[in-house]
Amino acid sequence: MAVSGSIWAAAGAAIVGTAALGGPAAFAMWKGFVLGGAAAAAAGERAGNAVLHRQLRRMTHGELELAELSARAEGELVVVRGKVACESPLTGVLVDAEGVFRRMIFEPDGKWVHEAAVDFTLIDDKGAHIIIQAAGARWMVQSRELVTYPGTRFSSDRAPREVSRLVGTRPTVEAYEQVLPVGTEIQVVGYKTASADVSGEVIDYRLPPQRATLRSGDDLPLVITAISDLG
């Protein structure tokens, strides 16, 4: 994340503070103070994303077939692709959509970012599947223009308590939200591990069946990118 952060800083934006919050979906929220203008911040984010992708590609050895992942060493950094599947997706706050990751930008008093995600399954065209652990993940997504929403949208049952508190009684709020839908073909960069799964492989009779899994690491987050966004 240091590369992306330096690009943001060079573009005149500083990201300060993070808060990990509990619940069925792992999510985080932070505030960005834009000093050089929204356009510069957006350009900085795009440049940071591009640099991060190049760096990640250098650290891996090309995309793997999902069926090959179980043979990889614990903690190895790999790149895979497949389609998103999830039995219990989350719901958008501002948009009527279901998916496994949502990213909301809203400006009640400066720029705030809210991200939420749930664990999901990645399936390839051969039917092989792995588990994606969403905690700490980063969804690489293109920025969009803000839209004016009624403030009441941020106090609905869908809205996280912290978001509702920040918006308060404001009549309108500038915001946008993006949701990563089930069925989207994505590329995932992450660290290999394994998770208990009833349909997984039996490796040791003393352990439950295991399913190959990707997670975030100490040095890099798990990175998700829609194939349609890869340039």
Instruction: Please answer whether residues 100 and 90 qualify as being in contact, where contact means their C-beta atoms are separated by less than 8 angstroms.
Output: yes
Report the distance separating Cα 12 and Cα 33, nearest Å.
Answer: 9
pTM over 0.85: no
Q: What number of residues does the chain have?
A: 231
In Å, how far are 106, 108, 125, 145, 230 from 148, measured between CA atoms?
10, 11, 40, 10, 29
- Write down the H helix ranges in 146-191: 161-167
pLDDT at residue 14 above 50? no
State the sign of the Cα–Cα–Cα–Cα dihedral 143, 147, 149, 151. positive
Closest CA relative to residue 31, chosen from 41, 39, 43, 46: 41
List, in sequence order, every residue forming a beta bridge with 101; answer none if it has no partner.
Answer: 117, 180
Instruction: Please answer whether residues 160 and 114 qualify as being in contact, where contact means their C-beta atoms are separated by less than 8 angstroms.
Output: yes
Instruction: Please answer whether residues 186 and 82 qualify as being in contact, where contact means their C-beta atoms are separated by less than 8 angstroms.
Output: yes
Determine what percent of the chain falls in helix, strand and coil, rounding each to the nearest 5. 25, 45, 35
Most trustworthy range by pLDDT among 7-11, 19-23, 177-181: 177-181
13-17, 67-71, 122-126, 201-205: least confidently modelled range? 13-17
Tokens representing residue 210 in the block: 């295991």
pLDDT at residue 12 above 70? no
Average pLDDT over residues 88-102: 94
Q: Which amino acid is at 96?
A: D
DSSP state of 72: S
Instruction: Please answer whether residues 177 and 158 qualify as being in contact, where contact means their C-beta atoms are separated by less than 8 angstroms.
Output: no
28-37, 112-121, 168-177: least confidently modelled range? 28-37
Question: What are the tens digits of pLDDT across the range 32-90?
Answer: 433 333 333 344 455 555 666 666 656 556 789 999 998 999 999 999 999 999 999 99
Report the distance separating Cα 153 and Cα 97, nearest Å.
Answer: 15
pLDDT at 40: 37
For the chain, the first-to-last Cα distance in angstroms comes to 20
**Residue 47 phi, psi (nearest 5):** -65, -40
pLDDT at 110: 86
Report the distance separating Cα 142 and Cα 187, nearest Å.
Answer: 15
18: three-class secondary structure by DSSP: strand
